[in-house]
Amino acid sequence: MDHEQHVRETWAALSRGDLETVEAAFAANGRWRAVEDGEWNCENRRRS
């Protein structure tokens, strides 16, 4: 599957409320960061 198709399928899943598919699209070890570091950063899937 190419990147464009992956994004389109993930977007479609989000649109229909299929959050499991959306979750699978993100890297398991990914981190969400704000512009400024703080307690609001998401370090892993357990701390969201």
Q: What is the pTM of this model?
A: 0.58
Is residue 22 within 8 Å of 10, Cβ to Cβ? yes
Domains of the chain, residue spans: 1-48
Tens digit of each residue's pLDDT (9 = 90 or more) over 30-48: 777 777 877 777 776 665 5
Closest listed residue to residue 29, CA positions, set 47, 4, 5, 11: 47
Greatest mean pLDDT range, 1-5, 9-13, 29-33, 36-40 = 9-13
Say what percent of the chain tops pLDDT 70.
Answer: 90
